Amino acid sequence: MSFFLELVANGVAVGGVYALIALGFVLIYKATSIINFATGEFMMIGAYFFYTFMVLLGLPAVPAFILVMACSALLGLVVERAILRHMLGQPTISIIMVTIGLSSILLGLAELIWTSDFKSFPPLFPRAPVIIGEVVIRSNFFWGFIIAMAAVAAFALLFKYAKVGVAMRATADDQMAAFSMGINVRSMFTVAWAMGAIAAALGGLIIGNIGGIQPNLGHLGLTIFPVVILGGLDSIAGAVVGGFIVGIVENLAGGYLHDYVRGDVKELAPFVVLVLILLIKPYGLFGKQEIERL
Amino acid sequence: MRIGDYKVSYAADEAVFRSGTVRFWLGALFVGLAVFPFLAGDYLLYMANLTGIAIVAAVGLNILTGAAGQISLGHAAFVGIGAYTAALLITRLGLPFLLCLPLAGLSAAFFGVIVGAPSMRMKGLYLCIATLAAQVIFEYVFKNWDGLTGGIRGINVPPPSILGFSLNNEFRFYFVTAPVVIIVVTAARNLFRTRVGRAFIAIRDRDFSAELMGISLFRYKLYAFALSSFLAGVAGCLWVNFIKIVTPEHFPLHESIRYLAMIIVGGLGSVLGSIFGAIFMTIVPEVLKSALNLVSAVSPKAMAFLSPLQTVVFGLLIVVFLVFEPHGLAEMWRRVKNYFRLWPFEH
Amino acid sequence: MSLLAVEDLSLSFGGLRVLSEVSLEAAQGQILAIIGPNGAGKTSILNCIGGFYRPQHGRILFEGRDITRLSPDRRAALGLARTFQNIALYRGMTVLDNIKLGAHAHLRTGLLGGLMYWGPAQREEMALRQEVEEEIIDFLEIESIRKLPVAALAYGLQKRVELARALAMRPRVLLMDEPVAGMNAEETEDMARFILDIKEERGLTVVLIEHDMNVIMDISDYVVVVNFGQKIAEGAPDQVQAHPEVIKAYLGQKRAGA
């Protein structure tokens, strides 16, 4: 029983981080309808930013953290202005491919700048594992989860109450209507990209703190697809629920199936769940089929 | 030089080779393809074989994604299925190479239909993610079903032979690759002269109205999946017989993305574009390598930057083409051709 | 007997009732016009007949046969052709290929035949080209644009190409959604003439939606008026024009004493 609880607890902890990264995807999709395949690379670059400020430049953790957010926002802004703005109204495949191209550029640049050697952060949190009842959670997981949840909550509040959040939701709902209400739709796109990049970068920072960083860290970004399909592409709450489910499924599969199934079941399991869901509901668990007109 | 377009019958207008000029250049191309292996060295022949194999796979993907508009992130997995099928048929059953070509294609097409059929109801992003899942799952199977696929060690195959004539080097293998490419390209071009090709494009452009035009979406999407994975399978069979080993590392997600990049750089929905794209995306990394080789004479560390630089350039090509030339090299080629059609009397 | 009959058609999306118990009939060789204010459900009727929407209630009969459950592509093969309010041509193809596409259901070439393009497949394409040229392109006077990509055409011409594509479907019934909307006077006149010719020379039945009352009065044999998803009047064009319900629907209800 305690084995089960431990798997679930760790699943929840990792799931919280997935939720944050998925949020980086959802924020962009919600406002711009762009599917960002480079979310994983935004995450990886964010982790390297933190490494640069803390290890290479020797800044304390808190200023480094703030600088990571600023730099990631800038990265999102530049990407939107330089590339995505030219892709408005293009077919889905072009938009998907342009973000895939972007992910390749970011990956290559990271290797050029930081080399492909393994890097890690100095310890940020007390080493002692956190013990809740019978369950033992590694300290990096626990604190990562806390930071991720705080960030998700902050984004959710921003989206719901702040003026810019309301404008973004309006843009997501109906671009033409938002435009005619005097909302600067284009600047909303930029804001969405900046916020998406920040969310992904924070996720990367937490993951990097748990397992160290390498340029191919971005591959983890693929896991967000099961998360967003589960949770619905444009729902913040869905991203959180989806993140938890994927985190738990992954850990349970890894814990119980490990002895029976070869290879990395942990990575496979979310995709199997994804396929099952798409077979039953081709538009995702919470997605809605739109009424088509002729 | 060729001016105007005078035809006296619809048959002449529909003819496969529309004019003497086209016949001339096509003839020249065939002569060039036939003479090439006698002039080129091993390295060029090696590249030519790889390019040819990539063309076969890219034509397949372009039918599915470019023409019929169904995005696939799992094309490399189908190439892999073809490669594993061929390797198993050869090593376990001892089937001849030529028989393996269609069988590998059929095997991949079978799995293509299995993935495609439930995907009928999905569109755009959802389909894209479903094929991504297929890629991940097939890759997992390649890696972990040791009994069948040999796990990460893979399967070695002996050099193929046709009627006792061994195809054990680049030069000899070229005479298999080139005809297969010609057949595949011709067949794909043919398809787009008929109702099947038109139906694909109709589904891509407006799927609902296509149905009201009498096109069964289910049947034609399935055709597109089957045909695309068949060609992937054939490419896989060529590949394993050329390289003589197959391992899971050869068919990662990145390889699927590379095929997508080929058809985007070459031109979505254009058979000619698939050829251009496959050639271009095979040559560019080699050009980069040579360039860095030159630089490394001056600064010896330059080669260390090769891999990341290739990654950056790969991404840049995709982005730059999508932003500035979304119809790819095929469109650039068409413009050049039109310019010369009336040259030097363009005014 | 009517060629096409719609009986008690009801359609709703979620809680939104789009059509309630609409019935109409079109006889062989008749031009039936459906009119009504925007949002009255006219296009939804065509969508139900074509099979794009599935009505919750009611039947659609074609030559006496119930086709309510048939898929759109099977209906197209039976002879129901459609043109669209917002042009739905295939922008990636030339005019000629767009028109040829219309004949899809009547061609036999399969996947293998297409790949080989030998014998039957080639002959079929030649015959199709000849048919399209002689029966459709000449008739609609679009010889000069046949090789152009449709995206390059002016709006009025695109509408004409859509009609050409519908004719290539060898239809028995032509469903036209606002064929002259957005056209200038000359284009409108051409289109009205084509529709009349189609009826008279080819004996086709035409069901059309239109806002241009002059066109309706000139070419239609019978008019059905819908408002808020219900049929409110029907009859010969001049009868309908004078119908009080119709005037009310179009001009709004007069307030007493106003």
Would you state the pLDDT for residue B8? Answer: 67
| Terminal CA-CA length for chain B | 14
Report how far residue C67's alpha carbon sits from residue A286's, in angstroms, rounded to the nearest whole number: 34
Closest chain B residue to the Cα of C76, Cα to Cα:
B214
Q: pLDDT tens digits, residue range B7-51? A: 767 777 777 666 777 888 889 999 999 899 999 889 999 999 999
Computed over every residue of chain C, the mean pLDDT equals 89
Would you state the pLDDT for residue A224? Answer: 87
Indicate yes or no: CB of A294 within 8 angstroms of CB of C52: yes
Residues 60-79 of B with CB under 8 A from A: 65, 69, 71
Computed over every residue of chain A, the mean pLDDT equals 86
Closest chain A residue to the Cα of C42, Cα to Cα:
A294
Indicate yes or no: CB of C43 within 8 angstroms of CB of A291: no
Q: Which among A241, A230, A237, A240 has a CA at the least distance from the CA of A274? A: A230
Q: Residues of B with CB below 8 A from A110's CB?
A: 308
Would you state the pLDDT for residue C73? Answer: 92
User: Which pair of tokens denotes residue A263?
Assistant: 């290879």
Residues 208-227 of A with CB under 8 A from B: 222, 225-226
How many structural domains is chain A composed of? 1
Would you mind telling me the total number of residues written for chain A in this entry? 294
Would you state the pLDDT for residue B1? Answer: 41
Q: What is the pTM of this model?
A: 0.91
Closest chain A residue to the Cα of B127, Cα to Cα:
A282
Would you state the pLDDT for residue C75? Answer: 94
Q: What is the ipTM of this complex?
A: 0.89
* pLDDT(B208) > 90: no
Indicate yes or no: CB of A294 within 8 angstroms of CB of C85: yes
Q: Residues of C with CB below 8 A from B202's CB?
A: 90, 93, 101
Question: Could you tell me if residue A266 is inside a domain?
Answer: no
Whether chain C has a CB inside 8 Å of the CB on B338: the answer is no
Average pLDDT over residues C221-243: 90
C127 and C197 in one domain? Answer: no
- Residue B313: pLDDT band (50, 70, 90) is very high
DSSP bridge partners of B245: B156
Would you state the pLDDT for residue A264? Answer: 81
Torsion angle defined by CA atoms of residues B27, B29, B34 and B36, in that order, rounded to the nearest 10 degrees: 150
Question: Could you tell me if residue B35 is inside a domain?
Answer: yes
Q: Residues of B with CB below 8 A from C107's CB?
A: 194-195
Question: Could you tell me if residue B125 is inside a domain?
Answer: yes
Question: Could you tell me if residue B218 is inside a domain?
Answer: yes
Would you state the pLDDT for residue C256? Answer: 42
Q: Is the dihedral of CA B230, B231, B236, B241 positive or negative?
A: positive
Indicate yes or no: CB of B128 within 8 angstroms of CB of A274: no
Q: pLDDT tens digits, residue range A30-60? A: 888 888 999 999 999 999 999 999 989 989 9
- Residue B4: pLDDT band (50, 70, 90) is low
Would you state the pLDDT for residue B18? Answer: 65
| Terminal CA-CA length for chain C | 46
C255 and C184 in one domain? Answer: yes
Question: Could you tell me if residue B12 is inside a domain?
Answer: no
Domain end marker among C124, C144, C164: C164
Question: Could you tell me if residue B262 is inside a domain?
Answer: no
Report how far residue A41's alpha carbon sits from residue A215's, in angstroms, rounded to the nearest whole number: 8
Number of H helices, E strands in chain C: 11, 10
DSSP bridge partners of C62: C4, C65
Query: What value, to the nearest 5°, has the Cα angle with vertex A208 and ends A205 and A212?
Result: 155
Whether chain B has a CB inside 8 Å of the CB on C50: the answer is yes
Q: Residues of A with CB below 8 A from B257's CB?
A: 100, 104
Would you state the pLDDT for residue B122? Answer: 79
In single-letter form, the type of residue at position A270 comes to P
Output the 3-class SS for chain B: CCCCCCCCCHHHHHCCCCCHHHHHHHHHHHHHHHHHHHHCCHHHHHHHHHHHHHHHHHHHHHHHHHHCCCCCCCHHHHHHHHHHHHHHHHHHHCCCHHHHHHHHHHHHHHHHHHHHHHHCCCCHHHHHHHHHHHHHHHHHHHHHCHHHHCHHHCEECCCCEECCEECCCHHHHHHHHHHHHHHHHHHHHHHCCCHHHHHHHHHHHCHHHHHHCCCCHHHHHHHHHHHHHHHHHHHHHHHHHHHCEECHHHCCHHHHHHHHHHHHHHCCCCHHHHHHHHHHHHHHHHHHHHHHHHHHHHCHHHHHHHHHHHHHHHHHHHHHHHHHCCCHHHHHHHHHHHHHHCCCCCC
Q: pLDDT tens digits, residue range B214-259? A: 999 999 999 999 999 999 999 999 999 999 999 999 999 999 999 9
Q: Residues of C with CB below 8 A from B194's CB?
A: 107, 109, 113-114, 117, 121, 124-125
Domain end marker among C132, C149, C164: C164
Sequence-distant (≥ 6) Cβ neighbours of residue C212 within 8 angstroms? C180, C181, C188
Q: Residues of C with CB below 8 A from B14's CB?
A: 125-126, 129
Average pLDDT over residues A81-96: 87
Would you state the pLDDT for residue B261? Answer: 95
Q: Which residue has the tokens 């896991």?
A: A223
Which of B10, B216, B217 is the closest to C133 by Cβ? B10
Indicate yes or no: CB of C72 within 8 angstroms of CB of B204: no
Report how far residue B72's alpha carbon sits from residue B56's, in angstroms, rounded to the nearest whole number: 16
Question: Could you tell me if residue A235 is inside a domain?
Answer: no
* pLDDT(B3) > 60: no
How many structural domains is chain C composed of? 2
Question: Could you tell me if residue C210 is inside a domain?
Answer: yes
Question: Could you tell me if residue B25 is inside a domain?
Answer: yes
C203 and C230 in one domain? Answer: yes
Compute CA A130 distance to the chain's CA centroid, rounded to the nearest angstrom. Answer: 25
Three-class SS state of C18: strand
Q: Which of A132-136, B213-217, B225-229, C103-107 has the highest mean pLDDT?
A: B225-229
Report how far residue B284's alpha carbon sits from residue C3's, in angstroms, rounded to the nearest whole number: 63
Indicate yes or no: CB of B217 within 8 angstroms of CB of C73: yes
Indicate yes or no: CB of B195 within 8 angstroms of CB of C97: no
Would you state the pLDDT for residue A176? Answer: 72
Q: Which among B257, B251, B223, B241 has a CA at the least distance from the CA of B117? A: B223
Q: Residues of B with CB below 8 A from A254's CB?
A: none
Average pLDDT over residues A74-81: 94
Whether chain C has a CB inside 8 Å of the CB on B8: the answer is no
Q: Is the dihedral of CA C149, C154, C157, C159 positive or negative?
A: positive
Question: Could you tell me if residue C85 is inside a domain?
Answer: no
Average pLDDT over residues C156-160: 91
pLDDT above 70 covers what percent of chain B? 95
**Domain ranges, residue A159:** 14-218
Question: Could you tell me if residue C86 is inside a domain?
Answer: no
Indicate yes or no: CB of A98 within 8 angstroms of CB of B323: yes
Q: Distance, in angstroms, between B74 CA and closest chain C CA?
A: 23
B267 phi-psi bin (left φ>0, alpha ψ -120 to 50, beta other): left
In single-letter form, the type of residue at position B306 comes to L
| Lowest-pLDDT range of A107-116, B52-61, B145-154 | B145-154
Q: pLDDT tens digits, residue range A140-173? A: 888 889 999 999 999 888 878 877 777 777 777 7
pLDDT above 70 covers what percent of chain A? 96
Domain end marker among C140, C164, C188: C164
Indicate yes or no: CB of A294 within 8 angstroms of CB of C13: no
Average pLDDT over residues A222-241: 85
Would you state the pLDDT for residue A1? Answer: 67
Whether chain C has a CB inside 8 Å of the CB on A294: the answer is yes
Q: Distance, in angstroms, between A294 CA and closest chain C CA?
A: 7
Q: Which residue has the tokens 């024009």?
A: C241
Report how far residue C147's alpha carbon sits from residue B96's, in angstroms, rounded to the nearest whole number: 47
- Residue A288: pLDDT band (50, 70, 90) is low
How many structural domains is chain B composed of? 1
Q: Which residues of B196-205 are buried (b: 16+ CB within 10 A; e: fewer)?
A: bbbbbbbbbb
Would you state the pLDDT for residue A126? Answer: 82
* pLDDT(B116) > 80: yes
**Domain ranges, residue C228:** 1-79+171-258
- Residue C257: pLDDT band (50, 70, 90) is very low
Q: Distance, in angstroms, between C166 CA and closest chain B CA?
A: 8
